[in-house]
Amino acid sequence: MSESEKIHLAKTSESEDLKKIRHTTSHVMAMAVQKLFPKAQVTIGPWIENGFYYDFDNPESFTEKDLKTIKKEMIKIINRKLPVTREEVTREDAHTRISAQNEPYKLEILEGLQEPITLYHLGDQWWDLCAGPHLENTGELDPKAIELESLAGAYWRGDEKKAQLQRIYGTAWQTPEQLDEYKRRKEEAQRRDHRKIGKEMGLFIFSEDVGPGLPLWTPKGTLLRSILEDYLKREQTKRGYLPVVTPHIAKVDLFKRSGHWQKYSEDMFPMMAESQEEKDKEIGFVMKPMNCPFHIQIYKSELRSYRELPMRLAEFGTVYRYEQSGELGGLTRVRGFTVDDSHLFVTPEQLDAEFMSVVELILSVFKSLQLTNFRARLSFRDPENPSKYLGSDDAWNKAENAIRNAVEKVDMAHFEGIGEAAFYGPKLDFIFQDALEREWQLGTVQVDYNLPDRFDLEYVAEDGTRKRPVMLHRAPFGSLERLIGILIEQYAGDFPTWLAPVQIRLLPVGDDFVQFAKDTAAAMQLLGIRAEVDLGGDRLGKLIRNAEKDKIPVMAVVGAKEIESNSLSIRTRAEGELGSIDIATVTDRLVKANATNGNF
Amino acid sequence: MSESEKIHLAKTSESEDLKKIRHTTSHVMAMAVQKLFPKAQVTIGPWIENGFYYDFDNPESFTEKDLKTIKKEMIKIINRKLPVTREEVTREDAHTRISAQNEPYKLEILEGLQEPITLYHLGDQWWDLCAGPHLENTGELDPKAIELESLAGAYWRGDEKKAQLQRIYGTAWQTPEQLDEYKRRKEEAQRRDHRKIGKEMGLFIFSEDVGPGLPLWTPKGTLLRSILEDYLKREQTKRGYLPVVTPHIAKVDLFKRSGHWQKYSEDMFPMMAESQEEKDKEIGFVMKPMNCPFHIQIYKSELRSYRELPMRLAEFGTVYRYEQSGELGGLTRVRGFTVDDSHLFVTPEQLDAEFMSVVELILSVFKSLQLTNFRARLSFRDPENPSKYLGSDDAWNKAENAIRNAVEKVDMAHFEGIGEAAFYGPKLDFIFQDALEREWQLGTVQVDYNLPDRFDLEYVAEDGTRKRPVMLHRAPFGSLERLIGILIEQYAGDFPTWLAPVQIRLLPVGDDFVQFAKDTAAAMQLLGIRAEVDLGGDRLGKLIRNAEKDKIPVMAVVGAKEIESNSLSIRTRAEGELGSIDIATVTDRLVKANATNGNF
């Protein structure tokens, strides 16, 4: 880890200092813009987590060159060390003063403001409506810690029927070192962008005619999915999970019974009805947003005995959720995704042990994926918004306590997330932080006393009475699509050897060596190694460049010398040239990487 | 094969004799009914493929006992050897005569009839409107070759808003031996019914809340699916197929481009639209009824070179078709099913060889499944109904000729099925006939010059020009659901050993032998054998009865004698007691069954 990575960059919401810096910088920017472009009218200018923006109405389009001019003007304002002063005014007073300025947007903003109405002044030259907080003087800003980043279009009130505005994004920090680190991370994030790398590696595509948020997996991406699925299936088989397969749709009735229709239908695709009349009567089918009600049908299809519990039904179940199209991006937010889902039906006595066993599985999955930096979030209901949830207080308390108890037993960083529960029960979510301090939600395990009630689930207990099982919902990956997106970003496409779709590429340096390379690859394939031969017939430099571009972990040059010594000249992405290694050793190391979920 | 199975039972449509016999028998039955139940009014009484029925309007419900009385009355009519005579009448004459009878349904039928209007008389005692043909005398019927089978409700004109009628089903044959064989097959079909066996074996369930035609696969059924899928995946990998994964939905636009929307939307689930307005504008999503347009998107996502062809994209793709709910039954007609789908993009020069290679794969799949009795149907378009199809005559002729040429090269029973083509191209369908002479459509391969045009598909040819590939659509199983339904019926649940979800069950005859049984099963599992131990603690007779009921191919009794000799007392479903066999041999035979797609 380089020196710079040790700098922690707070979010605006975490730091009062950053809030002041960014508020003040945005005012300085607006003052500079209005100085340079007297026709520009200001609208809103809030901070965002890594900076701020300001939206302007200006007759001409701002250019990248304008940003430089604006920045220069801002430096002048900073250097003038203008005091920033707060003034509380009456609504009438504010109205009079704004009207004198020809700032119609400000007037509209004023209408929506609650008392007290406050203005912030930069010296005596510029002011805006603002709730603060601010620095006390523009001189407290460090021009070397400020950057105007980009231009974008925006609409007044975010409404595309209203006036079109121009947005300037910027950022501001306490020190130039922080700004440098921020810029480095931004570049690094662009370099790691899974959409870009996914395209370069040829893992998945999107199609306009299929629709946004619906990835199609190419052969190479499908291979990556299979590697992950097969790995988890093996782990699950060891632990007594039972695979099932269920449909992607069901009648609305099923989701009424489960409560999804009442609490979750906004996230579901519109229903399929034969006519408006049937739609009004709610007769029709919907795509499943979750797999639970289907697994419950299988549980319910027979009278179960305590001897059958815990029953762990598992499915790589593809679900569909109607995310707003504006929110879709690459693989991390999609409309169709495959959950590595399982529902465990357990007796109340088995709950703690099964919960721990699920946590153990999730932790071992993260270890195999070489994801080490995560915390557990105890996602509980929001007591102030009870209408979001189903079920009795008693059921919720029992479930939340079960999660609390379990977490206390494991030595695991954790925090509470109020309002993050599912509508049917609380969750333990695993939040992973990547090299760029970005957070991603991965695996989840949920305790549910609620759906067993709604579906009237039972088992015959040892004493012959009918009892109610508890359900655990769990998914170590969460979503296969998201996971792959996150893994691409985390590794910047350099997958651990056991996960790489192609593990070794043999590079014959001439036609005479092609057959040997093919035979070697075929022998490796028989041992489950994903080996291929570059048949392009290019020169060595090009062969290596192509393999590097395709992020193949192990490259093996094959020429006369190698054939004679039954060896391969090995170069890895991670370590560069390793010199000549005999074929048996190369093969053993790859077999071992696969068996141990490791690297070459 | 028993003697009786050699009797061929023709369908009514294949035999003029049977048409006459069944027409006449149905008239004899109607005459008997009206004699015994003077208030009964006749409606329609057609032949069906294995018999006939007649619908009556009668104030009281017929009972099973009535069927016996009716049969006795029919025998009397037969024995009276009444001549059957045809009379051609004018519409007015028919109207007058019917009006005199108080037969309002007959009057309605008369309105729909074309000239000439013909009556058939039984002697001078009874007549009905009928187009014939008939026997010349009721005495030609053999009462021992006739059976009244069952009662059912029906609606006049099949319309549930119209009068409710009572239907009597019957059958009639040339000889009593044919009737006996027919009854034997009917019983056998009931015994083999995959819905019954599937339930007994616990392979799949249906749920009213999920909806009709949407099976949910239990752990055991899921295992069976995986065995079939894994088998085909291995065969496909050997042949250079590339797996892909695509969504279950797409925007309507995709299916407009493919032509499904224009030619196939009646078979598709209703669209998902946010509002009636969007629905009217056809803005929304639909579930995929086929996978082809998705695989085409992957093909199209890059400019392809001739070097990449043939490109064989393969997916176990679950599709959804909106079959009428009345037509749904078990697994053989469902609304959601998984196609072992592949689309091959080939150069025109590669077409013949790739077609043959697909046929070879399909034949090898049938051989592994031990399905031997099939014919190929050349499913061509119906030239009299051109609006059902897309594409130019030239494209159709080329595609139909490609299929004809291929079939001529293989020694394979075949026939033409006019009007059986897909809307985008002709097909070669494999029609399997089971032990009961029932026909089932299994694998298919289709030649398509049409979708490549519609999607403007290209590849860069060796000479650098852009050319159009040809597509092959193919599915050896057809639908995984149908296939499993058919296999259950064909084997009556007794799967070949390599396909059986549980291959061997160890039966310890006392608590002392349980650990040895568990260890033996675990050792077998490591070799990929699906072994389990019966832990029920029952006596041997019960253990064997349970294993027989569950249709486990190999049962292995474990007691003191077996442990001492490191052997198992083997009993198979197919051959009964085989005596003591040492464990290594049992294991070898099971491993070999798996490796060769064979039996123990």
Contact B209 A254 (CB under 8 A): yes
Cis peptide before B176 (omega within 30 of 0): no
Contact A216 B254 (CB under 8 A): no
CATH class of the domain at B3-192: alpha beta
Q: Residues A441-445: what's their mean pLDDT?
A: 93
Find the distance separating the first CA and the last CA of chain B, reported in whole Å. 21
What would the pLDDT profile of A379-399 be if each residue is shown by its tens digit? 999 989 888 888 888 888 988
d(CA B3, CA A244): 42
| Cross-strand bridge partners of residue A129 | A119
Q: Would the CB atoms of A272 and B273 count as touching at under 8 Å?
A: no
Nearest to A216 among B242, B274, B294 (CB): B294
Closest CA to B476 of B376, B382, B584, B342: B342
> Which of A598, A599, A595 lies closest to A527, judged by CA?
A595
What is the DSSP code (8-state) at residue A171? Answer: E
Digit-coded pLDDT (tens) for A502-517: 999 999 999 999 999 9
Report the C-alpha gap between B598 and B174 in whole angstroms.
Answer: 41
Is the Cβ of B242 closer than 8 Å to some Cβ of chain A? yes
* Residue reference for tokens 């496409």: A493
Residues 317-376 of B with CB under 8 A from A: 318, 320, 336
> CA-CA distance, B406 to B355, in Å (whole number)?
7
- Alpha carbon of residue A248 to chain centroid: 24
Runs of H (alpha helix) within A160-245 = 176-192, 194-201, 219-238
Of B567, B541, B542, B569, the C-alpha closest to B555 is B569
- Residue carrying structure tokens 């033996």: B520
Reported as a pLDDT band with limits 50, 70 and 90, residue B2 is: very low
Tokens (6 digits) for B428: 């070669």
Please tell me whether the interface predicted TM-score (ipTM) of this complex is above 0.85.
yes
Structure tokens at B371: 């399905």
pLDDT value, residue A149: 94
User: Are A247 and B336 within 8 A, CB to CB?
Assistant: yes
Query: Which residues on chain A are in Cβ contact (under 8 Å) with B280?
Result: none
On whether any CB of chain A is under 8 Å from the CB of B537, the answer is: no
pLDDT at res. B5: 52
Q: Is the bond leading into A553 cis (omega within 30 degrees of zero)? A: no
Given an 8 Å threshold on Cβ–Cβ distance, is B320 in contact with A249?
Answer: yes
Q: Report the 10 Å Cβ neighbour count for B475.
A: 25
Using 50, 70 and 90 to split pLDDT, how confident is the model at A5? low
So what's the pLDDT on residue A115?
Answer: 82
A222 interfaces chain B, CB cutoff of 8 Å: yes
Domain map (residue ranges) of chain A: 3-192, 204-248+288-491, 504-596
If you average pLDDT over residues B441-457, what whole number do you get? Answer: 94
3-state helix, strand, coil split of chain A in percent (to 5) is 40, 25, 30
Structure tokens at B466: 């852009």
> Phi and psi dihedrals of A450, rounded to 5?
-95, -55
Residue B386 confidence (pLDDT): 86
Span A262-280, pLDDT tens digits: 999 999 999 999 999 999 9
Confidence of residue B114 (pLDDT cuts 50, 70, 90): confident
Average pLDDT, chain B: 93
**Interchain contact B230–A (C-beta under 8 A):** no
Asked if B460 has any chain A CB less than 8 Å from its own CB, the reply is no
Q: Do A249 and B215 count as a contact with CB atoms less than 8 A apart? A: no
A414-418/A374-380 β-pairing:
parallel
| Residues in chain B within 8 Å Cβ distance of A287 | 248-249, 272, 287
Q: CA-CA distance, B357 to A593, in Å (whole number)?
A: 36
Give residue A571's pLDDT band: very low, low, confident or very high (50, 70, 90): very high
Say whether residue A311 is in contact with chain B using an 8 A CB cutoff: no
Asked if pLDDT for residue B3 goes beyond 50, the answer is no
Minimal Cβ distance to A276: which of B247, B253, B276: B276
Asked if A225's CB is within 8 angstroms of B250's CB, the reply is no
Q: Smallest CA–CA separation between B171 and chain A, in Å? A: 38
Residues B248, A298: C-beta atoms closer than 8 Å: no
Render pLDDT for B93-110 as a digit per residue (tens, 0 to 9). Answer: 999 988 888 888 988 999
The Cα–Cα gap between A54 and B169 comes to: 81
Q: What is the CATH number of domain A504-596?
A: 3.40.50.800
For A210, nearest residue in chain B (alpha carbons) = B250
pLDDT, one tens digit per residue, over A244-254 is 999 999 999 99
In angstroms, what separates the C-alpha of A313 from chain B's closest C-alpha?
A: 8
Selection from A403, A400, A399 nearest residue A359 by Cα: A403
Interface of A with B in 133-192 (CB under 8 A): none
- Range list of H helices, B438-529: 451-454, 480-491, 514-526
pLDDT digits (tens, 9 = 90+) for A78-126: 999 999 999 999 999 999 988 888 888 988 999 888 888 998 999 988 9
What's the confidence (pLDDT) of residue B391? 85
The percent helix, strand, coil of chain B (3-state, each to 5) is: 40, 25, 30
The whole-angstrom separation of Cα A6 and Cα A293 is 46
Tell me whether A284 touches chain B (CB under 8 Å).
yes
Enter the DSSP assignment of B460. E
Contact B214 A250 (CB under 8 A): yes
Q: Is A265 on the interface with B (CB under 8 A)?
A: no
A317 contacts A307 by C-beta, under 8 angstroms: no
Q: How distant is the Cα of B211 from the closest Cα of chain A, in angstroms?
A: 6
Q: Which of A285, A341, A288 is nearest to A319 (CA)?
A: A288
Q: Which two tokens stand for residue B522?
A: 């675990």
Residues of B in contact with A301 (CB under 8 A): 205, 207, 216, 218
**pLDDT > 90? residue B406:** no
Question: Nearest Cα to B382, choosing from B428, B430, B416?
Answer: B416
Higher pLDDT, B113 or B503: B503
Return the higher-pLDDT residue of B337 and A160: B337
Distance (Å, whole) CA A296 – CA A522:
45
Structure confidence by residue, pLDDT tens digits, B268-318: 999 999 999 999 999 999 999 999 999 999 999 999 999 999 999 999 999
Residue B272 pLDDT: 97
Residue B4 pLDDT exceeds 60: no
| Bridge partner list, A172 | A146
pLDDT tens per residue across span B181-239: 999 999 988 999 999 999 988 999 999 999 999 999 999 999 999 999 999 999 999 99
Q: Count of CB contacts below 8 A, A vs B?
A: 155
Q: 0.90 cut: is pTM over it?
A: no
Phi, psi of A429 (to 5 degrees): -105, 145
* Residue B1 pLDDT: 41
Q: What percent of chain B has pLDDT over 90?
A: 78
Provide φ and ψ at B39, rounded to 5°.
Answer: -85, -5
Question: Is the domain covering A204-248+288-491 a CATH 3.90.25.10 domain?
Answer: no
Cβ of A273 under 8 Å from any chain B Cβ? yes
Q: B136: how many CB neighbours lie within 10 A of its CB?
A: 12
Q: Based on the number of CB atoms within 10 Å of its own CB, is B304 exposed (0-12), middle (13-18) or buried (19 or more)?
A: middle
C-beta of residue B367 within 8 angstroms of C-beta of residue B359: no
| Angle CA B442–B447–B451, to nearest 5 | 115
Do B271 and A272 lie within an 8 Å CB cutoff?
Answer: yes
Q: What is the pLDDT of residue B125?
A: 84
Please list every residue in chain A whose beta carbon sits closer than 8 Å to the beta carbon of residue B211. 249-251, 254, 285
Share of chain A above pLDDT 70, in %: 99
What pLDDT is recorded for position B147?
A: 96
Can you give the pLDDT at residue B496? 94
What is d(CA B225, CA B477) in angstroms, rounded to the nearest whole number?
Answer: 11
CB-CB contact of A448 with A425 (8 Å): yes
What the block records as the tokens of A321 is 């959720």
With contacts defined as CB-CB under 8 Å, which chain B residues touch A215? 247
Fold matches, B3-192 and B204-248+288-491: no
- For chain A, say whether B574 makes contact (Cβ under 8 Å): no
The 10s digit of each residue's pLDDT in A200-244 is: 889 999 999 999 999 999 999 999 999 999 999 999 999 999 999
